[in-house]
């Protein structure tokens, strides 16, 4: 099989790494990829958001399958473009991708289906949103309606914080046009869990659970980020809770997608809060999470391409999902200043030493090569140092041991991944 992985972050590196082990793979391409992915396949020039251009490249290369990592191309309709050209792509159509592309669409659907979630209101007018939070007695999460690279959620415990959040999103357009509409939700308390499922149109097959650490600083402090690390499994996500989420979240949504939008095929990611009243849905994503992919994929046994083909062919009921026992932890090494402005082209050392440790995989997120061939930073989340172990504690210890070998100026990372509990919020 000839396969293309679209994207350039640590999630895409993890996908390429897992796909590279498939027994039927004959050629792996990555567009545009990164230095880590270059060790697995051929890098192709291009912009993932240029969905027509990606489809033209896929046709020219005679690809058997294209796997899309980031949400942008999916929301723009890359699956529809590929389908019109008779090309195979793993990921949902634009209609189904609204589950991530529009929070207001999702909240309306979930309310209609009775899927448990926080109380919410949708606003297109900033003055009305400010008036609402001024009279609202509870802490809230202010969420931009559209895509914001995982950072368009502002937590507000006080009225003045909520007012400032509305101002930032709607009036100042901190997240661009995505903030023209906001969803304001009551803030939930509990433990946050990422539950991802493969969906073949009619069925949802849950993957190993994960926990994402979104805040920039230890102890769940600081601004939201795209994710500073993750662990799998999520300790609090029991088999009983997984069964409840299957019944109350995945089953009704997959059925609605089939009846109303001619099915969802791909990965459906449910961001959950485990509250005293049971699991509540915070958000949907329509692709593998980042950094969740970095801890889920190393725990899967067998071929990922086989699972993806089962999704596309509607036969997940005949799949045996084998999961490696033990645990996996990933620690994100970020550039100084992230999630705000950050410098680039900082020299990175020690990646090979870290990768040489048994049980360690270093996924590249924001890296590049300088003219002399040296590895340098090229993004906010630079590397995801990932380790497997018999327990979460053992995996975390190994991940931090590996991270200690890596250095670049101003490198920052959380020291409590898999050692603390992320929660409270949106």
- 300: helix, strand or coil: strand
What are the backbone angles phi and psi of residue 265, rounded to the nearest 5°?
A: -130, 120
Quote the pLDDT of residue 180. 87
What is the bridge-based pairing of β-strands 140-144 and 265-275?
unpaired
pLDDT bucket at 162, cuts 50 / 70 / 90: confident
pLDDT bucket at 212, cuts 50 / 70 / 90: very high
As a whole number of Å, the end-to-end CA separation of the chain is 40
Quote the pLDDT of residue 404. 98
Residue ranges per structural domain of the chain: 2-91, 125-180, 191-318, 327-403
Least confident among 5-9, 155-159, 328-332? 155-159
Helix axes 10-19, 304-312, angle to 10 degrees: 100
Using alpha carbons only, what angle is made at residue 281 by residues 276 and 255, rounded to the nearest 5 degrees? 130
Q: Does domain 327-403 fall into CATH 3.60.130.10?
A: no
Closest CA to 425 of 142, 211, 109, 129: 142
pLDDT bucket at 250, cuts 50 / 70 / 90: very high
C-alpha 298: how far from chain center: 15
- CA 142 – CA 163 distance, rounded (Å): 10
Quote the pLDDT of residue 79. 98
Q: What is the CATH number of domain 2-91?
A: 3.40.50.20
pLDDT bucket at 423, cuts 50 / 70 / 90: low
| CATH architecture classification, 191-318 | 2-Layer Sandwich (3.30)
Q: What is the pTM assigned to this prediction?
A: 0.94
Quote the pLDDT of residue 174. 80
Average pLDDT over residues 340-346: 97
* pLDDT tens digits, 9-28: 999 999 999 999 999 999 99
What is the bridge-based pairing of β-strands 215-217 and 360-364?
unpaired
Q: Which fold is adopted by the domain 125-180? A: Dna Ligase; domain 1 (3.30.1490)
Closest CA to 22 of 65, 69, 81, 86: 65
């Amino acid at each position: 099989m000839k396969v293309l992985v679209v994207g350039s972050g640590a999630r895409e590196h993890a996908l390429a790494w897992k796909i590279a082990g498939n027994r039927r793979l004959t050629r792996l391409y990555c567009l545009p990829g990164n230095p880590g992915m270059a060790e697995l396949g051929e890098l192709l020039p291009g912009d993932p958001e240029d969905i027509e251009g990606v489809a033209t490249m896929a046709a020219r290369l005679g690809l058997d399958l294209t796997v899309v990592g980031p949400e942008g191309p999916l929301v723009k309709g890359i699956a529809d473009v590929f389908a019109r050209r008779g090309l195979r792509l793993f990921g949902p159509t634009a209609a189904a991708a609204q589950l991530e592309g529009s929070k207001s669409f999702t909240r309306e659907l979930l309310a209609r289906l009775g899927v448990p979630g926080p109380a919410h209101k949708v606003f297109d007018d900033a003055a009305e949103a400010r008036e609402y939070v001024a009279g609202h007695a509870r802490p809230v999460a202010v969420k931009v309606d559209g895509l914001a690279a995982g950072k368009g959620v502002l937590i507000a415990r006080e009225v003045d914080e909520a007012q400032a959040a509305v101002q930032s999103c709607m009036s100042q357009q901190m997240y661009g046009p995505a903030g023209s509409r906001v969803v304001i939700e009551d803030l939930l308390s509990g433990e946050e869990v990422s539950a991802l499922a493969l969906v073949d149109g009619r069925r949802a097959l849950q993957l190993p659970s994960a926990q994402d650490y979104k805040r920039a600083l230890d102890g769940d402090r600081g601004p939201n980020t795209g994710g500073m690390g993750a662990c799998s499994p999520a300790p609090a996500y029991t088999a009983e809770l997984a069964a409840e989420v299957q019944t109350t979240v995945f089953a009704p949504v997959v059925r609605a997608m089939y009846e109303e939008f001619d099915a969802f095929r791909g990965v459906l990611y449910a961001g959950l809060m485990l509250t005293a009243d049971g699991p509540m849905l915070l958000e949907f994503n329509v692709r593998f999470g980042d950094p969740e992919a970095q801890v889920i994929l190393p725990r899967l046994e067998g071929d990922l391409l086989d699972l993806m083909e089962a999704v596309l062919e509607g036969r997940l009921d005949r799949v045996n999902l084998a999961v490696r026992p033990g645990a996996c932890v990933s620690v994100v090494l970020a550039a100084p200043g992230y999630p705000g402005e950050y410098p680039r082209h900082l020299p990175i050392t020690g990646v090979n030493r870290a990768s040489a440790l048994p049980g360690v995989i270093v996924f590249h997120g924001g890296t590049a090569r300088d003219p002399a061939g040296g590895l340098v930073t090229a993004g906010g989340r630079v590397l995801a140092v990932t380790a497997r172990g018999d327990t979460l504690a053992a995996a975390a210890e190994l991940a931090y041991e590996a991270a200690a070998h890596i250095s670049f100026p101003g490198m920052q990372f959380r020291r409590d991944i898999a050692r603390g509990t992320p929660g409270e919020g949106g």
